[in-house]
Amino acid sequence: MSLRAVKEILSTKPTMEGAGVKLERAFGFGKTKEFDPFLLLDDFRNENPRDYLAGFPWHPHRGIETITYVLAGEVQHGDSLGNKGRMTAGDVQWMTAGSGILHQEMPKGDENGRMHGFQLWANLPASLKMTDPRYQDIPSAAIPEVTEDDGTMARIICGEFWGKRGPVNGVAADASYVDITVPPFKKKRIKVEVTRNAFAYVFAGEGVFRDASDPQAVLTESGADPNATPVYDAKNHSLVLFDRGDEIVVQAGPEGIRFLLVSGKPLEEPVAWYGPIVMNTQEQLKQAMSELQSGKFIKHR
């Protein structure tokens, strides 16, 4: 087995999106090659309702898939096709925007006013840019969980992992998306298919991802007590980008470590990107914007 070296460790950047939602961006515009087929990862984590209640009013998407994973609070959503729904703690929505959709996402805190979730964008290949839009709404209870003998736990959202398969299917990126918790002081080796690009986003606890170079520590908020007061220092929200190899190794710190492990097969196609629309050429982008202005953006009823 070949161990994946740590290629880069990134800290999140404070960002404002929608109608004024404060969030932390782990990666996004401009790093498409390193993360291909993924485009963006946002961590929306807040205790102050004023920082998220304005939400994400009506906006378009074309050419991508958006994956929303809620940990605390809820997100109400609706779209131009008449779909409506509500995601609560532990739920996932995998939306294939395809040829185009207009939708809105409105967050709401839990009884303590806390809101926490992630949104990941995955690119669609050129052959599927104009496919029909579709949703996969996955309730928390449908997401398989596996706990190993050492106490390491995994929630498998998409892909096959430790003998279980996540409920999301038919994803163009052939993605793997797993929420992993490693107990205090435990060391864990985790296989990742060698042809995939892979990254880990740490959002609780601390640990060391050991690689061929010097070990690098990743420190974030307490992973031991989910009700503990979070630390909202952007420097503590860390994304670990891995080089190629068969597996990663993580050494959990005294509070354990919890992270998203995401991997996918790169598309290796040109990317033309403007806001929530991602195509392959500038001409396709111009056409999308023209259709948006003329009311011809939505292709399906």
Residue that wins the pLDDT comparison between 265 and 222: 265
* Band of pLDDT at residue 96, cut at 50, 70 and 90: very high
Q: What pLDDT is stored for residue 245 in this prediction?
A: 93
| Torsional sign, CA 255, 144, 203, 19 | negative
pLDDT at 231 over 60: no
Q: Which helix (H) or strand (E) holds 15?
A: strand 13-17
| Torsional sign, CA 203, 233, 21, 173 | negative
**75-98: string of b/e by CB count within 10 Å (b at 16+)?**
bebbbbbeeeeebeebbbbbbbbb
* Band of pLDDT at residue 8, cut at 50, 70 and 90: confident
Q: Shortest CA distance to 71 belongs to which of 22, 107, 25, 19?
A: 107
Query: What are phi and psi for residue 246, nearest 5 degrees?
Result: -95, -20
Q: What pLDDT is stored for residue 233 in this prediction?
A: 28
pLDDT at 230 over 60: no
Q: What is the mean pLDDT of residues 181-199?
A: 94
Please give the mean pLDDT across all residues of the chain: 88
Q: With beta carbons less than 8 A apart as the criterion, state whether 197 and 176 touch.
A: no
Q: What pLDDT is stored for residue 284 in this prediction?
A: 97
Bridge-partner residues for 263, per DSSP?
176, 198
Q: Shortest CA distance to 60 belongs to which of 82, 80, 84?
A: 80
Q: What pLDDT is stored for residue 218 in this prediction?
A: 56
Q: What is the mean pLDDT of residues 63-84?
A: 91
Distances (CA, A) of 150 to 186, 243, 298: 8, 27, 50
Q: What pLDDT is stored for residue 235 in this prediction?
A: 34
Residue that wins the pLDDT comparison between 301 and 299: 299
Q: What pLDDT is stored for residue 107 in this prediction?
A: 93
Q: Give the three-state DSSP class for 134.
A: strand
Q: What is the mean pLDDT of residues 175-181?
A: 96
Within 10 Å of residue 18's Cβ, how many Cβ atoms? 18
Length of the chain: 301
Q: What pLDDT is stored for residue 211 in this prediction?
A: 55
Query: What are phi and psi for residue 235, nearest 5 degrees?
Result: -65, -20
Q: What pLDDT is stored for residue 224 in this prediction?
A: 45
Q: Shortest CA distance to 223 belongs to which of 239, 209, 208, 206?
A: 206
The pair of structure tokens assigned to 228 is 């503990």
Q: What pLDDT is stored for residue 75 in this prediction?
A: 94
CA distance 22 to 275: 17
Query: What are phi and psi for residue 87, nearest 5 degrees?
Result: -105, 135
Q: What is the percent of the chain with per-residue pLDDT over 90, rounded to a whole number?
A: 73
pLDDT one-digit tens code per residue, 120-170: 999 999 999 999 998 889 999 999 999 999 999 999 999 999 999 999 887
pLDDT at 223 over 70: no
DSSP for 239-277?
EEEE-SSSEEEEEEEEEEEEEEEEEE-------EEETTE
Q: What pLDDT is stored for residue 271 in this prediction?
A: 95
The pair of structure tokens assigned to 158 is 């998409």
Q: What is the mean pLDDT of residues 12-24?
A: 93
Q: Shortest CA distance to 178 belongs to which of 264, 261, 90?
A: 261
CA distance 298 to 82: 12
